[in-house]
Amino acid sequence: MKFDKKEKKRINIKVIATGIVAITLIGIVGISIGKFSGANPVGPGVLLDGITVVEKNFNKGFTFLEGNFKELISYKKNANKIAQIEKENDKLKQEVIDLNKQIDEVDSLSSLKKSLDFVDEKYNAKSISATVVGKNDGNWYDSFTIGAGSSDGVKNESIVVNGNGLVGMVYEVSKNYSKAISLLDTKSSVSFKLLKDDKFKGVITQNSTLEDKENYKNKGHLNGYMFDNSYDVLPGDVVVTSGLGLYPKGIPIGEIDKVIDDKNKSMKYVVVRPYADFKNIDDVKIIEPRNIG
């Protein structure tokens, strides 16, 4: 019986020892799990989630830096492109300016060539092209200086026209220059006719007796009168040189702007809006005078 008791006692000690070892192992495992998972009883899943969040934030930060670095490089490239475009734009602007100058010169030459068509075919006159180099004081070209003289073939009383029509007449010539008066000058006069009827003639002169003629001149308009007050003259009628006097016939002068009947003087005055712009005369054609002496 004693043997049985001893055997039982040994068995109990083994069981207790085994239990202690088991409990110790469980404790060690629990401590290990707690160490890696913190106080959160959920376990290792939380740790994995945390690692994932850190990884995501790290990736975002790297992407941000990478994007900004790319933008910086792109900005520098765009700045260089803009500078190059601005340089090319300035070059194109200059080319446009030069091209416009060439177009203006061609237009001017074409306009002056057209002015020769004003002259009657029977009047085979020599002509030269020239540039206006000076003018009188004031807004209007009453008188002006032309950069061509006797050495170029310019003669006194030569006719001055441009692409629009009659401008005036040369009254003084030197070797390299000549002076001219326009139709606005008080010393200038020209016989005209209406294009619609050769019989309707008159004279343009700034010395007419028309009242308020200075006001019309200040507008750049011409004034004159009809030879007969019974002529049918209307605003818009085209006025050209009649062929009487120094000017050959058919050179356009302008259009009738206003008709004024003065019954007391039995006169029919006309105000003419000229085709030539007497505020802007640059290039002209000088045609030698007719020999009518």
Nearest to 241 by CA among 224, 228, 216, 258: 224
Q: Is residue 246 part of a domain?
A: yes
The pLDDT, as a whole number, for residue 71 is 61
* Confidence at residue 243, expressed as pLDDT on a 0 to 100 scale: 87
Residue pLDDT tens, the chain, 293 long: 444 555 555 555 555 656 565 565 555 555 554 544 444 444 444 444 444 544 555 455 545 545 555 665 666 667 777 777 777 766 666 666 556 555 554 554 455 555 555 655 455 668 899 999 999 988 899 999 999 999 999 999 999 999 889 999 999 999 999 999 999 998 889 999 999 998 999 999 888 888 888 888 888 899 999 999 899 999 999 999 998 888 888 899 999 999 999 888 788 999 999 999 999 999 999 998 876 55
Q: What pLDDT sits at residue 88?
A: 74
Q: Does residue 162 belong to any structural domain of this protein?
A: yes
List, in order, residues 6 or more apart from 151 with CB less than 8 Å away.
Answer: 175, 176
Q: Is-contact 223 272, C-beta < 8 A?
A: yes
- Residue 292, domain member (yes or no): no
Residue 236 host element (H or E)? none
Q: Is 210 part of a structural domain of the chain?
A: yes
Q: What is the pLDDT of residue 37?
A: 47
DSSP single-letter state for residue 184: T
In a domain, 77, yes or no: no
Range of the domain at 212: 127-287
| Domain membership flag for residue 17 | no
Is residue 273 situated within a structural domain?
yes
- Provide the domain count of the chain: 1
CA distances, 137 to each of 79, 112, 142, 160, 279 (Å): 52, 26, 9, 20, 12
pTM (global) more than 0.85: no
HSE-CB at 284 with a 13 A cutoff on CA atoms is 33
What CATH number has the domain bearing residue 263? 2.40.10.340
